[in-house]
Amino acid sequence: MEAAKVLGYPPGVAQPIPVLTPDIYSEAPAFPVSLKLASPEFKRAFRFGTIDNGVLVSSTLIGLSLDDYIADAIGVPGYGALVGATVGNAISDGMAGIPEGRSAALGYFTGALLPAVPIAIAMLMKKEPSGMTKKVLVGASLAMVILAFVRKNNRS
């Protein structure tokens, strides 16, 4: 009875009981980003992502299965999945870029191969991809990503 006075209900009047109904959910704020799933840009990007990751996953697994062969060839274990993923990523990026044109596909392919350079150097130096070598490879890859983002665009 005391709560009724505090809430402004006269004594003896039943208070409404809050119930979760669909009306409560409809008052939630709308998602702030409009996802245009039917737009040509979305369809192109979706196709790119599907091709890109499909080839990448396959090549990573192939590289993993070839780890012993790669270790015998270079004399250092642990590079199979890394080589498979790196080369596979370059190939998948190039393939996924084909619908955008030959120049775009070549740009994606060669850009994706650039991070393979430190990996190839470490392999030639017969360094296992662990400890300090792993830290250097991670640092080199992150430096390339950062430089790619901050580099000024030279287009007119």
Give the whole-angstrom CA distance, residue 24 versus residue 109: 50
Residue 96 makes CB contacts below 8 A (sequence gap 6+) with: 47, 48, 49, 51, 52, 55, 108
Q: What's residue 12's pLDDT?
A: 63
Q: What's residue 25's pLDDT?
A: 46
Give the whole-angstrom CA distance, residue 92 versus residue 110: 11
User: Per-residue pLDDT tens for 82-103?
Assistant: 999 899 989 988 888 888 899 9
Q: What's residue 62's pLDDT?
A: 92
User: Per-residue pLDDT tens for 18-66?
Assistant: 544 444 444 444 544 555 667 788 888 888 888 888 888 899 899 889 9
Lookup: tokens for 98: 């084909």
Q: What's residue 156's pLDDT?
A: 46
Q: What's residue 97's pLDDT?
A: 85
**13 has pLDDT over 90:** no
Q: Output the average pLDDT for the chain.
A: 79
